Amino acid sequence: MDIRIALAGNPNSGKTTLFNALTGANQFVGNWPGVTVEKKEGKLKKHSNVVIMDLPGIYSLSPYTLEEVVARNYLINERPDAILNIIDGTNLERNLYLTTQLTELGIPVVVAVNMMDVVKKNGDRIHIDELSRQLGCNVVEISALKGTGIMEAAEAAVKAAGGAKTIPQHSFSGPVEHAIAHIEEAAVHNLPAEQQRWYAIKIFERDEKVLSQLNLDKTVLGHIEEDIKAAEKELDDDAESIITNERYVYIASIIKSCYQKKNRGKLSTS
Ligand code: BGO
């Protein structure tokens, strides 16, 4: 059986450059079923049993663009053996938004921090070990353009594919966790344990695609709605915005402890 690695990342993170460098001429290009979004897969060089699936470039796993729907359907329904998440090291805040969601899927994740040639040239520093600790997954520095670290990143993903699922390290605020715990118990306890959290968060967000997929009983839906409303009242915001905002608070704390900008704190002369 082939090992299936999904390559996921934001548009412009260097995903195409990395995919080409890892697979070379060993690529098959088509379309995702029923849509005109390009589907590319390829064999990892020197690993004929490893298939890399290049997912569309996305910022989030919300279902608002065709690309997001395609990517998340693949991750949820096909469940690759591991995710290699490429992030742009010069734009950590925006890129980690997707990462926080990928680590919730119950699939082993390896993060490849790309553009490290630029990060280093700028004199900035990313504390990789701390980033790895905070995300709960292996993190590898790469430059897809220069080819540095890329085989290490791919091999880390292959190794992760045979190991433990990534466990998200982030907790939402009390009222949200309270609602999520109720949702897990009421609606998704029959799903595999590692998938329950992702589904519960999506139900909390009232994600229509997930709700229609799960086809929950009306009484259960009514109880869940009460839990969501209680959190919304307590936090004075709508459920989806609460999740988004709390993700950004988490990301800000990661960046504070993992990213050091060379000129931070110095007065600008311009
Ligand atoms: C252009 N380092 C540097 N410095 N650049 C990188 C790296 C890296 O590690 N990795 C990728 N890039 P895609 P998506 C470009 O195309 O792979 C560059 O969307 C240009 N083009 O070369 O396409 C890469 O698939 C003109 O840059 O990303 C590309 O994720 C001037 O990042 C861009 C400058 O990479 C996006 C750059 C005509």
- Per DSSP, the three-state class of 201 is helix
Using the predicted structure, report yes or no on whether residue 269 has a pLDDT greater than 70: no
Q: Which atom of ligand 1 is nearest to the CA of 86?
A: 30
Q: Does ligand 1 lie within 6 Å of residue 13's CB atom? A: yes
Is pLDDT at 65 greater than 90 in this prediction?
yes
Ligand 1: centre distance to CA 14 (Å): 5
The whole-angstrom separation of Cα 194 and Cα 33 is: 27
User: Could you give the CA distance from residue 98 to residue 168 in angstroms, rounded to a whole number?
Assistant: 13
Query: What is the whole-number distance in angstroms between the Cα of residue 9 and the centre of ligand 1?
Result: 13
Phi, psi dihedrals of residue 4, rounded to the nearest 5°? -110, 120
pLDDT at 127: 97
Q: Which of 13, 16, 17 to mutate to test the pocket of ligand 1 (most atoms within 8 A of CB)?
A: 17
Pick the residue whose CA is nearest to atom 18 on ligand 1. Answer: 14
Query: Judging by beta carbons within 10 Å of its beta carbon (0-12, 13-18, 19+), is residue 223 exposed, middle or buried?
Result: middle
Tell me how far apart the alpha carbons of residues 114 and 149 are, in angstroms, rounded to a whole number.
9
Interface pTM (ipTM) of the complex? 0.97
Task: Render pLDDT for 178-232 as a digit per residue (tens, 0 to 9).
Answer: 999 999 999 999 999 999 999 999 999 999 999 999 999 999 999 999 999 999 9
pLDDT value of residue 154: 98
Amino acid of residue 99? T
Instruction: Give SS3 for 230.
Output: helix
Ligand 1, atom 13: closest residue by C-alpha: 14
- Coil, strand or helix at 38: strand
Question: Both tokens of residue 47?
Answer: 């690993």
Ligand 1 atom 6: the closest Cα is on which residue?
145
Give the pLDDT mean for 250-264: 92
- For 74-128, write each residue's pLDDT tens digit: 999 999 999 999 999 999 999 999 999 999 999 999 999 999 999 999 999 999 9
Residue 33 is predicted with a pLDDT of 87
- What average pLDDT does the segment 244-260 reach? 97
Q: How many helices (H) and strands (E) does the chain have?
A: 11, 9
Give the Å distance between the CA of 22 and the centre of ligand 1.
15
The set of residues, in sequence order, having a beta carbon less than 8 Å from that of 130 and lying 6+ positions away, is 257, 258
Beta strands in the chain (DSSP E): 3-9, 27-31, 38-43, 50-54, 82-88, 109-114, 125-126, 138-141, 259-260
Ligand 1 binding pocket includes 115 (Cβ within 6 Å):
yes
The confidence score (pLDDT) of residue 264 equals 67
Do the beta carbons of residue 45 and residue 24 sit within 8 Å? Answer: yes
pLDDT digits (tens, 9 = 90+) for 140-183: 999 999 999 999 999 999 999 999 999 999 999 999 999 999 99
Asked if residue 270 has pLDDT above 80, the reply is no
The 10s digit of each residue's pLDDT in 2-24 is 999 999 999 999 999 999 999 99
Q: How far apart are the first and last CA of the chain?
A: 58
The whole-number pLDDT of residue 25 equals: 85
